[in-house]
Structure 1
């Protein structure tokens, strides 16, 4: 978790330097990020289920080794295309390590206080990695962008050694490993869907190729659903989607991560292009949110035990919504950091602190150990693919509202995007609140889902 956060934030800060040295234009640079998203989001669901079927320890070790090698190669190449390929391979590897790591955690710790505390610590490392990456990215980029690719290598090697020693051997699942057609249609459909989402802003949402690719992805995913319904031992048990609490957890993570990532994207551009801030100054401005998550997450498990996941998720999305609304109404072309930016950053920090652990706990609640990888892969797929979709829509709105030169960025340019992310957070809040208003047992899990 620490490694994933570190890698993503460091590379984002280094993009301008990479483009200058390798001669990459903006379109090519975006694929250094999108290449990773394509591999990661496209295979997350398969990665989580593969861990169930082949054994979590084995899958984690192999995928982590691939991640380390891809990081090393990425820091040594002198060709933009090869660099993008290494990012894609790292995304593929992370699609197996991320859900496998979480399923190792959820199968090691019994559902309840122990698991909630473990998920809280899990969140601490993610926030610490991301926060560290912002600062290290600014410092390392000044020494050379290649260091942002090489830095994760020793962390990956250390994690690999620790995993060999600490992670116990486990038994693969007895059924579900013979669904080749399901695996092919799932991977093809997901990767095509993610590719279409991340490439649509540049090509155009109404472009015939974009519409055609969306249609083809829909056909592939529909074929996957038909296969899973008819096969004796499906790769993915679709009845897991009938559990309301799990579905709401997946929608909540889209609202949480999609709105947060898009907001950070806009603020990063605004502070650097609009206000002329350096990458390091920008990182320091956003750092309080990461610190709140890092220091606050250890206590979230106790709060979940006391108040339950629904109320914690409501508090999270409510805090996020207030943060976006504050920036939307107080922000300007010449904002005062203490008045316009810092309050939003603090509210977002608390929102992410309350939300991430609570959503992950709810998304894996009531699921048998043999399907923890599936549940973990499902919620992380929702997080990544949903975030990519919200970010793509945000980018389209920001681009459409741009009437300034290439080197400037006004606050009004970002207003439509800010309205969108606020709406996404409020929609997630409404979905979470609705069952409580109707008086339903929010976290009840049918017995069939436990089989």
Structure 2
């Protein structure tokens, strides 16, 4: 009888999220999922609006890339630090700070009067997104600590994350066409205000985090420098070429700094990324599958956007809408993994099957040519690809944060997001180079360009299929018993 506590006697809510009423927990998930969607959308929502922003603010075509890269660079470089800050500040506080900062930076970007203001606002957006994203996953992990509901919750958030790039294209087209390019940023202020009000009401005052372990400052500087160099080099490779000094120098420096970061984490008393997080085979497989799934996802959205507009003649709005069936496939695959497959096949089976399904769909997309139609040539493959992505993503996110001490959940969540951002950045840059090389070798023109797209899909397909096999070998078989809920 002593365990029964009324809402009136405990207005802040139970300390243990697993004992909260089920409907309240799913409301919390809705709030967290919406915040995660805001973060993911901003990878692509501005893309469709760039021509309008360029005409309005008067910057050159060569500078457009920085509006997109500034966000991804700050986001990807600071994710590990953001996860650590989440553990230090307490997750409720970190969530609220990240949300308010992200909305404020979006407002500044929407009101930009020049390229410098816009790029600066995008950098600040990325900084607060790096705090917000890992905090969201940590709060979900606390709210749903074990069992089928945990799998379903991560299935929902994986659907949000996996569909975010395509959703951003659709929403960006709608807002640009019917309002203004500025609303691709202002929309975060509106949504963020609603999420903030709901979070203040729903999130319990006592959440995980609040650790007093000091931050590994040298490790933070090394990882920021490493990821900055790698992402910067990859961002410039598409225009300058892989042999350019402006590409080679930051890439080499990034790799060397990354090696220094690993050494520092091995020697540091309080490492930013405890290497024990990476030594678990189940978690290592989750990070690998997350990286490869992101490579494939970004590649499909990127190349399909150009193919639908340049070859099929669709407007940006309708090109984005044509990718919506992939989103439905992601939602379907996430629910299959979370509700039906995970208990039958385990993490290894679902992860490998999802990668194999994605690889098969990419192999079909690799057959495209200038005569390929949407309904028969693209639509079925996009749906199947989405199903595979949903299966892989939901399982990898759940496995990456499971069975960890409370003070390591934030950094594990951040590493999951790092894999996504690096997979997208590396995959887009590398596969764009593949496509351009094949197109030049084929003599240029529309047919050669499509051959380049097909070559990129072929590489992505092979990578997905090989990774499916690797995950079968790396991830241990069976399922561990679900851990007892921890306060």
Corresponding residue number in structure 1 for 2:257:
220
Query: Which one of 114, 120, 145 corresponds to residue 110 of structure 1?
Result: 145
Secondary structure class of the residue paired with 1:399: helix
Corresponding residue number in structure 1 for 2:11:
none
Corresponding residue number in structure 2 for 1:148:
184
Corresponding residue number in structure 1 for 2:25:
none
2:56 and 2:283 mapped to 1: Cα distance?
46
Secondary structure class of the residue paired with 1:8: coil
Task: Kindly indicate whether residue 456 of structure 2 is the aligned counterpart of residue 421 of structure 1.
Answer: no
Please give the residue correspondences for 1:161-172 in structure 2 after superposition, counting only pairs within 5 Å.
161-168=197-204, 169-170=206-207, 172=209
Structure 1 residues 305 and 370: alpha-carbon distance in aligned structure 2, compared to 1, 3 A threshold? farther
Secondary structure class of the residue paired with 1:234: coil
Structure 1 residues 5 and 381: alpha-carbon distance in aligned structure 2, compared to 1, 3 A threshold? closer
Task: Kindly indicate whether residue 244 of structure 2 is the aligned counterpart of residue 207 of structure 1.
Answer: yes
Structure 1 residues 421 and 107: alpha-carbon distance in aligned structure 2, compared to 1, 3 A threshold? same
Please give the residue correspondences for 1:177-326 in structure 2 after superposition, counting only pairs within 5 Å.
177-294=214-331, 297-303=334-340, 304-326=342-364
**8 Å contact 1:7–1:152 — kept in the other structure?**
no
Query: Which one of 61, 68, 80 corresponds to residue 115 of structure 2?
Result: 80
1:149 offset after TM fit, Å?
1.4
Structure 1 residues 141 and 418: alpha-carbon distance in aligned structure 2, compared to 1, 3 A threshold? same
TM-score under structure 2 length normalisation = 0.84
Secondary structure class of the residue paired with 1:150: helix
Q: Deviations over 1:55-93 (max 9, x none)?
A: 111111111111101111111112112211211111111
Secondary structure class of the residue paired with 2:39: helix
Structure 2: give runs of 5+ residues left out of the alignment.
1-35
**8 Å contact 1:324–1:421 — kept in the other structure?**
yes
Please give the residue correspondences for 1:352-431 in structure 2 after superposition, counting only pairs within 5 Å.
352-403=389-440, 410-431=449-470
Q: Which one is further off, 298-307 or 331-340?
A: 298-307
Q: Which one is further off, 175-184 or 122-131?
A: 122-131
Structure 1 residues 121 and 418: alpha-carbon distance in aligned structure 2, compared to 1, 3 A threshold? closer
Q: Which one is further off, 188-197 or 350-359?
A: 188-197
1:189 and 1:261 mapped to 2: Cα distance?
22
Q: Deviations over 1:17-74 (max 9, x none)?
A: 2223333333311111111110111111111122112211111111111110111111
Structure 1 residues 297 and 386: alpha-carbon distance in aligned structure 2, compared to 1, 3 A threshold? closer
Query: Which one of 60, 79, 82 corresponds to residue 44 of structure 1?
Result: 79
Structure 1 residues 279 and 186: alpha-carbon distance in aligned structure 2, compared to 1, 3 A threshold? same
Secondary structure class of the residue paired with 2:43: helix
Q: Deviations over 1:270-298 (max 9, x none)?
A: 11123321112212211111123335534
1:146 offset after TM fit, Å?
1.2
1:148 offset after TM fit, Å?
1.3
**8 Å contact 1:273–1:408 — kept in the other structure?**
no
Structure 1: give runs of 5+ residues left out of the alignment.
none
**8 Å contact 2:89–2:211 — kept in the other structure?**
no
Structure 1 residues 402 and 232: alpha-carbon distance in aligned structure 2, compared to 1, 3 A threshold? same
Corresponding residue number in structure 1 for 2:366:
328
**Runs ≥4 residues deviating over 6 A:** 404-409
Secondary structure class of the residue paired with 1:77: coil
Structure 1 residues 269 and 122: alpha-carbon distance in aligned structure 2, compared to 1, 3 A threshold? same
Query: Which one of 458, 469, 472 corresponds to residue 433 of structure 1?
Result: 472
2:296 and 2:371 mapped to 1: Cα distance?
23
Structure 1 residues 226 and 441: alpha-carbon distance in aligned structure 2, compared to 1, 3 A threshold? same
1:397 offset after TM fit, Å?
1.8
Corresponding residue number in structure 2 for 1:340:
377
Cα RMSD between the aligned structures?
2.5
2:220 and 2:292 mapped to 1: Cα distance?
28
**8 Å contact 1:107–1:369 — kept in the other structure?**
no
1:126 offset after TM fit, Å?
3.8
**8 Å contact 1:54–1:173 — kept in the other structure?**
yes
Q: What count of residue pairs does the alignment treat as equivalent? A: 443
1:392 offset after TM fit, Å?
0.5
2:253 and 2:155 mapped to 1: Cα distance?
39
1:312 and 1:196 mapped to 2: Cα distance?
34
1:7 and 1:418 mapped to 2: Cα distance?
24
TM-score under structure 1 length normalisation = 0.91
**8 Å contact 2:351–2:471 — kept in the other structure?**
yes
Structure 1 residues 4 and 405: alpha-carbon distance in aligned structure 2, compared to 1, 3 A threshold? same
